[in-house]
């Protein structure tokens, strides 16, 4: 039996031999001479670019009135985008929820994308990627593709179930993706969430324990790739100890080198050694312990180089010291952590110089005129090669890595199949009842008690409970609660919101108050991207006011003798603000519901919650992060509110 190192060498050699054929074909496309060489370089650079086509307005232009805003989702491939793919020969496309309406439509779109790529000079098929992490980062239509709770929910199951749910949910998601024509998943997240204030990772992390993150991450990678979907570990070198969202700013990690190796880098090192993830995604973060050199921003400011643009981090550390041989892909270059400091052209050239293989979403293609910008970006990178800023030998090696990735993970059988055959493939995996059973099992196993429950609180929904009040963050969440609770109790259910709770509680005859919280609000990655930023941080009330309503409502209910339950549906850390105000604190790590065939809101997490509240035993999940104690206080004037 070959040693792991020898096996990796054999795989690498075989992949590079076959990948060299694509590099040679790209070089041969132009023939001889300066113009032909430049064209060959353009073809190679294009293979290193992966775009989103989330929105496209084919009959509009950028104007002062629309400020570059286009809101027409691409669900069918417009002629202009088809021509762009064919003419440029770009290497990949990433799709978002806006692009994905139904299985039939997704299959048609992905088929058209591959047909456009087949007509390019190289004929190289596309990497078609997606952020399908599970939990709140879920892009496929929930009514057709079974949705699973995310990483921290899986982390909560680890003490009882080990890697079971990490492997099984990854395998199920990979089946769904492959059947729909995807070949790359930008998952799993192996960041170690050690900062409770982290706005972008948080419950996308398995745990605060790097060993647990490593084990679950390895299991997920193996499961994705066993189903022939390329897995991506992210966000290198580790985004877990940040308090700034790199979609909106440039986070900085202040760890020592020793801490970096023991915490943030450990899951990546373990993944490289034990699972060989096909891709590694960079983080738009400053990490001075790993690289404290400075770079000049477009405003002339000297800043610590972000990891995405750091040769020390991507080439010396990731490739050299850690021995990673797969494809390095950037996080979206349109995120503020890069775009606020560098022009698109600078970002692309600098990340290629640092060692990245694929520049992800360097610009938005929203109007026909943007296609010309793509050509300019490619030409700018070609010029960087010609003047020696980029190494052509490194470009060739990088394109060979991308070609090897495509050879291994692009399903030529899916591409060659007819539309009817593709539809049959998708239906076989999307209709699997075991996927739905797995989602329910994970949700039930994940529900966790945050603090020891008050005596005699269980079951919350005892036989003498006649009326339940639910203070919900939105009508959809409230409806999902109502339907789930009605399935386990005959008690009536009254829905409250933050605007009417304090008015209705004092005179209420309810027996139970459930406060369901989804704070902090969704991050850009959960919503889908930078264009959703205008939706961020807009709860029904400002956070201080919202939390004041929660506190006063719980205090009033307790003074009236009601049972009180606080459910952290997004981040468990927030429970610290309400510890002494509720008899029972639960964490679900998920809150998503969808409208099913029966036109009602439903979701595994709501069924699991209802069952937990009706049980005389505490939920079996184990909190995978530390939640502080004693941060709350009962308002003195609660009885008068």
Backbone φ/ψ region at 143: left (φ over 0), alpha (ψ -120 to 50), beta: alpha
Nearest to 414 by CA among 249, 106, 181, 252: 181
Q: How far apart are CA 217 and CA 228, in angstroms?
A: 17
Pairing of strands 359-360, 49-52: parallel
Q: What does each C-alpha distance from 600 to 98, 569, 597 come to in angstroms?
A: 22, 20, 8
> What letters, b where the CB count within 10 A reaches 16 and e where it falls short, cover 33-51?
eeeebbbbbbbbbbbbbbb
Q: How far apart are CA 521 and CA 536, in angstroms?
A: 7
Q: For residue 94, give the 3-state DSSP assignment.
A: strand
Q: How far apart are CA 306 and CA 294, in angstroms?
A: 9
Looking at 331, 370, 511, 590, which residue is catalytic? 331
331 included as an active-site residue: yes
Q: How far apart are CA 6 and CA 152, in angstroms?
A: 35
Q: How far apart are CA 333 and CA 336, in angstroms?
A: 8
Q: How far apart are CA 182 and CA 94, in angstroms?
A: 9
The C-alpha angle 171, 416, 280, rounded to 5 degrees, equals 40
Is the distance from CB of 587 to CB of 568 less than 8 angstroms?
yes
- Sequence-ordered list of residues with C-beta below 8 angstroms from that of 268, at least 6 positions apart, any chain: 190, 233, 236, 237, 238, 280, 322
Q: How far apart are CA 118 and CA 101, in angstroms?
A: 25
Q: Which sequence positions are flagged as catalytic? A: 331
């Amino acid at each position: 039996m070959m040693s792991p190192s020898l096996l990796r060498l054999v795989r690498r050699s075989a992949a590079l031999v076959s990948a060299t054929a694509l590099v040679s074909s790209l070089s041969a496309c132009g023939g001889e001479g300066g113009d032909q060489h430049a064209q060959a370089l353009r073809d190679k650079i294009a293979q290193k670019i992966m775009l989103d086509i989330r929105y496209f307005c084919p009959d509009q232009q950028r104007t002062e009135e629309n400020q570059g805003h286009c809101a027409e989702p691409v669900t069918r491939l417009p002629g202009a985008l088809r021509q762009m793919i064919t003419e440029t020969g770009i290497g990949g496309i990433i799709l978002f929820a806006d692009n994905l309406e139904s299985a039939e439509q997704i299959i048609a779109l992905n088929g058209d994308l591959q047909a456009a790529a087949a007509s390019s000079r190289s004929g190289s098929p596309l990497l078609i990627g997606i952020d399908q992490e599970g939990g709140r980062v879920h892009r496929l239509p929930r009514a057709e593709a079974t949705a699973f709770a995310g990483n921290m929910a899986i982390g909560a199951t680890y003490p009882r179930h080990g890697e079971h749910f990490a492997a099984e949910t990854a395998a199920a998601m990979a089946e769904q993706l492959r059947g729909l024509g995807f070949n790359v998943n930008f998952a799993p997240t192996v960041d170690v969430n050690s900062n409770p204030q982290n706005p972008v990772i948080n419950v996308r992390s398995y745990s605060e324990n790097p060993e647990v993150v490593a084990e679950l991450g390895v299991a997920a990678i193996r499961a994705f790739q066993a189903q022939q979907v390329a897995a991506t570990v992210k966000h290198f070198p580790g985004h877990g100890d940040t308090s700034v969202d790199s979609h909106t700013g440039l986070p900085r990690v202040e760890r020592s080198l020793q801490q970096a190796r023991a915490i943030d880098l450990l899951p990546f090192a373990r993944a490289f050694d034990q699972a060989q993830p096909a891709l590694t995604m960079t983080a738009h973060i400053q990490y001075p312990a790993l690289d404290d050199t400075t770079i000049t921003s477009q405003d002339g400011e000297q800043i610590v180089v972000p990891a995405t643009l750091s040769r020390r981090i991507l080439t010396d550390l990731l490739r050299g010291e850690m021995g990673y041989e797969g494809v390095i892909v950037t996080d979206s270059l349109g995120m503020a952590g890069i775009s606020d400091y560098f022009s698109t052209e600078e970002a692309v050239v600098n990340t290629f110089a640092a060692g990245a293989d694929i520049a992800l979403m360097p610009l938005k293609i929203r109007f026909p005129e943007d296609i010309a910008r793509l050509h300019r970006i490619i030409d700018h990178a070609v010029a960087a090669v010609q003047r020696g800023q980029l190494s052509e030998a490194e470009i060739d090696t990088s394109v060979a890595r991308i070609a090897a990735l495509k050879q291994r993970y692009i399903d030529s059988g899916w591409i060659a199949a007819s539309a009817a055959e593709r539809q049959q493939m998708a239906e076989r995996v999307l209709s699997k009842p075991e996927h739905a059973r797995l989602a329910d099992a994970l949700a039930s196993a994940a529900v966790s008690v945050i603090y020891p429950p008050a005596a005699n609180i269980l079951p919350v929904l005892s036989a003498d409970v006649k009326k339940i009040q639910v203070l919900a963050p939105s009508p959809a969440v409230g409806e999902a609660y109502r339907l789930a609770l009605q399935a386990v109790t005959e008690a009536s259910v009254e829905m409250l919101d933050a605007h009417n709770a304090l008015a209705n509680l004092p005179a209420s005859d309810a027996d139970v108050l459930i406060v369901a919280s989804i704070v902090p609000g969704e991050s850009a990655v959960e919503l889908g991207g930078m264009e959703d930023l205008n939706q961020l941080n807009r709860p029904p009330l400002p956070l201080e006011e919202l939390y004041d309503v929660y506190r006063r409502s719980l205090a009033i209910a307790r003074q009236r003798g009601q049972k009180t339950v606080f459910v952290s549906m997004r981040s468990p850390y927030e429970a610290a603000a309400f510890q002494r105000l509720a008899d029972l604190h639960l964490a679900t790590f998920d809150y998503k519901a969808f409208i099913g065939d029966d036109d009602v809101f439903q979701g595994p997490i709501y069924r699991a919650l209802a069952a937990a509240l009706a049980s005389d035993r505490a939920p079996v999940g184990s909190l995978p992060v530390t939640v502080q104690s004693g941060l709350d206080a009962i308002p003195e004037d609660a009885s008068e509110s």
